[in-house]
Amino acid sequence: MMYRISDDIRKFLEKNFFETEPIFDRIERLIDFLVENEVKESFDRIIRSVLFLAAANENLFLQYLELARLDYRDLIYLAEYEGEKQVRDFTQPFEV
């Protein structure tokens, strides 16, 4: 399966991170991991959740990438929900 990073994600990275190549590389490795583990959730949703939670901080980015590997559902919950209420929907593109 070939995955292509969405344009909104690319633009978000270029706008919010100083060096994007290492970030793209780590995202590609995450996608490989998700494919190997037969994750059916939208990869874009997972990546947007990581980027939102990281708030352009590379250390947080690495921490949330690890959470995506451990349990992407927890990651999505943290990114999209406040309490029991969904307040964001990362199935939709970033507005950049």
φ, ψ for residue 2 (rounded to 5)? -105, 125
Query: Is the pLDDT confidence value at 75 over 60?
Result: yes
The domain limits of the chain are 7-86
Q: What is the pLDDT of residue 91?
A: 95
For residue 81, CA distances in Å to 9, 49, 67 come to: 20, 11, 16
> Which amino acid, 14?
E
> Which amino acid, 58?
E
φ, ψ for residue 85 (rounded to 5)? -100, 130
Q: What is the pLDDT of residue 5?
A: 87
**Counting beta carbons within 10 angstroms of the beta carbon of residue 69, is it exposed (0 to 12), middle (13 to 18) or buried (19 or more)?**
middle
Query: Is the pLDDT confidence value at 61 over 90?
Result: yes
Query: Is the pLDDT confidence value at 1 over 60?
Result: no
Q: What is the pLDDT of residue 87?
A: 97
13-36 per-position pLDDT tens digit? 999 888 889 999 999 999 999 999
Predicted TM-score of the model (pTM)? 0.92
What value does the mean pLDDT of the chain take?
A: 92
